[in-house]
């Protein structure tokens, strides 16, 4: 098969492209705004991989690249709640206009399926746990709004034009190739790099907020299984277990061998309090089965970051 991976130089996209390249031809599209060339350096000479540097908002580029593809794995986005709070227009352009461009190009080029990244942030801070796909979305940030809008567009394109669309609501993905240097980096790479440097991690809030962390290899599995199935709609992708940020810091201190107690700062606007996923729907629709308990995923992530410290 020939597959397109938008955002394929990013954290999740590069892991996905690498796995796909073992059995398929892969075209990576990335403008390197948040993706990094170093993530795909080892793939650039691969006989099955083609890298196209460009933006998903460039419809002409997409309609040039998409013909003949068996499916599109749409991972490109500006993936940050704080950045969206600071610059909602940029997030909307990349995440909404970009997604609509991908869907339009898929329709015009006859691509039968789009599997796209959504986010658990669409649920907001509703007190019900675990979060299930039947809940009414309650986005708290511009980023969350863009992801919910993407899902709505996906359903409309599926209903109107017959494209099979799947939107995967990721819960706190972590693992190798996650960028710890960005101002908007996720909590785990920030914690790990701080601890490896002998510095205390920073927790926004009291640390008792909980997250359902998901190892990137499980997210890759979910994308591929969703593409190979006949599923359509919205699905939670998570580990199915939540831990507090205080517990996370404690595990990482043990794995890094560094005892630096966290520094606590004021909560950030747009952040949710608790997160836990019901993954029954994905399990039943396309056999999603997370293989990495959070401790094992953290062990692999720490080893990867340690090699590059």
Task: State residue 254's pLDDT score.
Answer: 96
Task: State residue 289's pLDDT score.
Answer: 97
Question: Are the C-beta atoms of residues 212 and 171 closer than 8 Å to each other?
Answer: yes
Residue 288 scores a pLDDT above 70 = yes
pLDDT band at 20 (very low <50, low <70, confident <90, very high): very high
Task: State residue 35's pLDDT score.
Answer: 95
Cα distance between residue 122 and residue 119, in whole Å: 6
What pairs with residue 26 in β-bridges?
A: 3, 49
Q: Identify which has the larger pLDDT, 272 or 221.
A: 221
Q: Work out the mean pLDDT of the chain and round it to a whole number.
A: 96
Task: State residue 181's pLDDT score.
Answer: 78
Question: Are the C-beta atoms of residues 232 and 164 closer than 8 Å to each other?
Answer: yes
Domain ranges of the chain: 2-174+215-239+277-291
Percent of all residues in the chain with a pLDDT value above 90, rounded to a whole number:
91
Q: Identify which has the larger pLDDT, 179 or 134.
A: 134
Fold of 2-174+215-239+277-291: Rossmann fold (3.40.50)
Residue 269 scores a pLDDT above 90 = no
- Helix, strand or coil for residue 5? strand
What pairs with residue 28 in β-bridges?
A: 5, 51
CA dihedral over 268, 272, 273, 277, signed as positive or negative? negative
| pLDDT tens digits, 163-213 | 999 999 999 999 999 988 776 678 999 999 999 999 999 999 999 999 999
First to last CA, the chain: 37
Task: State residue 126's pLDDT score.
Answer: 85
Residue 143 is a catalytic residue: yes
pLDDT band at 34 (very low <50, low <70, confident <90, very high): very high
For residue 89, is it left (φ>0), alpha (ψ between -120 and 50) or beta? alpha
Percent of all residues in the chain with a pLDDT value above 70, rounded to a whole number:
99
Question: Are the C-beta atoms of residues 126 and 138 closer than 8 Å to each other?
Answer: yes
Cα dist from 28 to 4, 18, 54, 152, 300, whole Å: 6, 10, 10, 25, 25
Cα distance between residue 27 and residue 48, in whole Å: 8
- Helix, strand or coil for residue 262? coil
Q: Which of 3, 123, 143, 170 is catalytic?
A: 143
Average pLDDT over residues 215-243: 97
Residue 51 scores a pLDDT above 70 = yes
Question: Are the C-beta atoms of residues 115 and 221 closer than 8 Å to each other?
Answer: no
Average pLDDT over residues 27-40: 97
Exposed, middle or buried, 241 (CB in 10 Å: 0-12/13-18/19+)? Answer: middle
| pLDDT tens digits, 64-93 | 999 999 999 999 999 888 899 999 999 999
Question: Are the C-beta atoms of residues 140 and 272 closer than 8 Å to each other?
Answer: yes
Q: Identify which has the larger pLDDT, 296 or 308.
A: 296
Cα distance between residue 237 and residue 30, in whole Å: 23
Quick one: which of 178, 170, 43, 40 has its CA closest to 115?
A: 170
């Amino acid at each position: 098969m020939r597959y397109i991976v938008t955002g394929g130089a990013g954290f999740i996209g590069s892991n996905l492209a690498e796995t796909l390249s073992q059995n398929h031809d892969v075209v990576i599209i990335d403008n390197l705004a948040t993706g990094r060339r170093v993530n795909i350096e080892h793939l650039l000479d691969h006989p099955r991989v083609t890298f196209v540097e460009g933006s998903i908002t460039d419809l002409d580029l997409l309609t040039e690249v998409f013909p003949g593809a068996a499916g599109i794995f749409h991972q490109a986005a500006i993936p940050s709640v704080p950045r969206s709070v600071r610059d909602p227009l940029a997030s909307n352009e990349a995440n909404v206009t970009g997604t609509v461009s991908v869907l339009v190009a898929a329709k015009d080029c006859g691509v039968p399926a789009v599997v796209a990244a959504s986010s658990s942030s669409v649920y907001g801070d509703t007190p019900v746990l675990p979060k299930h796909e039947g809940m009414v979305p309650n986005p708290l940030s511009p980023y969350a709004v863009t992801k919910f809008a993407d899902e709505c567009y996906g359903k409309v394109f599926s209903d109107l034009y017959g494209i099979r669309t799947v939107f995967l609501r990721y819960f706190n993905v972590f693992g190798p190739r996650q960028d710890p240097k960005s101002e908007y980096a996720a909590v785990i790479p920030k914690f790990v790099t701080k601890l490896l440097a002998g510095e205390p991690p920073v927790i926004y809030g009291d640390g008792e907020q909980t997250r359902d962390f998901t190892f990137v290899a499980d997210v890759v599995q979910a994308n591929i299984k969703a593409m190979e199935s006949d599923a359509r709609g919205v699905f939670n992708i998570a580990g199915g277990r939540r831990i507090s940020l205080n517990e996370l810091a404690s595990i990482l201190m043990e794995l890094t061998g560094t005892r630096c107690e966290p520094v606590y700062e004021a909560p950030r606007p747009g952040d949710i309090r608790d997160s836990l996923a019901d993954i029954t729907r994905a399990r039943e629709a396309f056999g999603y089965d997370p293989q990495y308990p959070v401790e094992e995923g953290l062990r692999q992530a720490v080893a990867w970051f340690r090699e590059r410290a």
